[in-house]
Structure 1
Amino acid sequence: MRTSELIEKNNELRQLLNPENEQFYSDFLVYMRLASLLRSEFKIETMLLEILNDILDAQDEGTNAAQYFGKKPKQVADELLAATPISTREILKVAGIVVTVLLFVTFLPLLVAPTATFDLGQLLILVGYVLIVILGTFKYIAHTIYQTNAKAPKLGRWLWPGVVLLVFMVPAVAIMWVHTPWQFAMAGVTGASVIVVLMTIMTLWFLSIRGKKPFFSTYLISMLCGIAGLVLRIPAVEQLYLANQNRHVPGGFLLVGLLLILIIGNLVRLWWHRKNK
């Protein structure tokens, strides 16, 4: 049985729980999933499904989940997590997601701008920082699930997400100003070659997932940015872009172009969704 099938089975069986047991198990499940970010997802989901079946058996016998566990649920979860080693595969999986998102946010504009420079060292530093923030965030959220003191001021509950976001953003923006020796120019033939390779990889990836709807807009925007980048790297167009001494003009055209790409991408995405309903 695959991990996705375990999760689907879990969701089906949870509907058989009574309200008290469902609340108890939901808290336990969320805590386990958040606290096990770098552990084998398959092993964690297998344990969760086994525990759910045990709770259902106890429920049929008239015993609720709290009585069945005997110990505090957080203690049980921590013992299970301690017995599950860190998974190298999960580390690579999380790191891959972070790298993909950061490349999508930071690298796509470089594909369009023919004068841009890609700083690999800066990206690696940013990836490391984001991973630390993600792990810390997951650990904190998991910790709050079983907090006994839930009487925090309403103003504090509204303000703390903004404070956390600000604390996270300041170092992230600072890292964007860091420059390392691992810089690569994205102009001319080099940039065009990188764009072609990335567009090919994105197309193969999109075909491998059979064009799933949630990823269509990502693929479309990537392709439009790639096409725009190739056009701007045509020698005549690139010279026209570079010849203008007023940097605000090409920058303005670039901004407008990116906005048009986003607008067109979303329009096509809506058309795609309606067509495939």
Structure 2
Amino acid sequence: MKTSEMIEANNQLRVQLNTKNKNFYENILVYIRIEGLTRDENKMEVQLLNILQDIIDAQNDGLTAEEYFGKNPKELADEILLAMPSNIWEGVKLALYIVAAYIGSSFLPSLMTAGTPLDVGALVLCGIYSIISVIVVLKYVASTIYTANRKMKNKYAKIFVLWFTISLLFAPLFIIKTFVHTPIQISLDGWIGIIVIIITLIIGLVFFFRQKDKTFGWPVVIFLAGAGIMGIVTRIPAYGNSLLHTKNGRYLVAGITTILFILFCLFNIIAARKLAKQTK
């Protein structure tokens, strides 16, 4: 069975679990998937599916997951991970995916206005830093699965700590983009820039529509599509000069950028609420 098929089967079978068993299993699932990012994904999903089936069988026999597996699920998860040696290629793929995701999400906003060269060096530096940040955040999330409830009872305190941690980690991205300037810069003005933006939009849309779950993809697509269209318009001489070199034009660009950002935030909130309803 393919990895994607196992993940889909896992999602369907979890519906059979009662609330207590579902919480027990989903903690194991999240912990193993995060800590097992450098393990063989197929083997990992096989193990997760086996555990799920065992819990369903135990539930049908009147046993809880805790009674069947014991009161220390973290030990079970760690034993499974130890049985699967790390795969260097999986780590490389993860790193490349993070860099590509960051550059992909930052490329079009960087081309939103003509006349500013694209700093490829700074973009790559941000991508490399993103690898470190994402891994740190994921490790933090994994570490809190079985310890957060003991150390911190107040849910608002947990949210604040997580927000503060993520803010500290991602603040350097803003600093790098604002203050770091490398000699690796390219100019993408005029028709060359327009062609690059159109190709990027097409690739992004193809990738987006190939995804099964588009819940959190729509806000990103709308924002990047808006940034791409703005980048095209500012590169057309008939419009670009008035938008970039007049006071009213700059206000209009700033206003459109602000609206795009607000829409991005609103659609993310809607997507989060939709996901929460589906989870319930």
Smaller-chain TM-score range? 0.7 to 0.9
Q: Counterpart amino acid of 2:55?
A: I
Conservation of the 8 A alpha-carbon contact between 2:121 and 2:182: yes
Conservation of the 8 A alpha-carbon contact between 1:122 and 1:179: yes
Corresponding position of 1:51: 51
Corresponding position of 2:273: none
Distance in structure 2 (CA, Å) of the matches to 1:5 and 1:199: 29
**Superposition RMSD on alpha carbons, in Å?**
3.7
Distance in structure 1 (CA, Å) of the matches to 2:22 and 2:224: 42
Unaligned runs of 5+ in 1: 271-277
Number of paired residues? 264
Displacement of 1:134: 1.5
2:184 to 182, 185, 190: 182
Displacement of 1:4: 3.5
Is residue 2:257 matched to residue 1:255?
no
Corresponding position of 1:5: 5
Corresponding position of 1:79: 79
Displacement of 1:9: 2.4
Q: Counterpart amino acid of 2:165?
A: V
Displacement of 1:29: 1.9
Corresponding position of 1:168: 169
Corresponding position of 1:157: 158
Distance in structure 2 (CA, Å) of the matches to 1:160 and 1:42: 33
Corresponding position of 2:143: 143
Corresponding position of 1:24: 24
The percentage of aligned residue pairs carrying the same residue is 34
Conservation of the 8 A alpha-carbon contact between 1:34 and 1:138: yes
Corresponding position of 1:231: 233
Corresponding position of 1:41: 41
- CA 1:238/1:39 → structure 2, altered by over 3 Å: closer, same or farther? same
Displacement of 1:132: 1.4
Q: Which secondary structure does the structure 2 equivalent of 1:109 belong to?
A: helix
Conservation of the 8 A alpha-carbon contact between 2:117 and 2:188: yes
Instruction: Write out aligned runs for 1:81-120 (5 A).
Output: 81-84=81-84, 85-86=86-87, 88-89=89-90, 91-93=92-94, 95-97=96-98, 99-104=100-105, 106-120=106-120
Corresponding position of 2:130: 130
- Higher mean C-alpha deviation, range 178-187 or range 11-20: 11-20
Displacement of 1:147: 2.2
Name the TM-score, length of structure 2 as normaliser: 0.74
Corresponding position of 1:275: none
Structure of larger gyration radius: 1
- CA 1:52/1:133 → structure 2, altered by over 3 Å: closer, same or farther? same
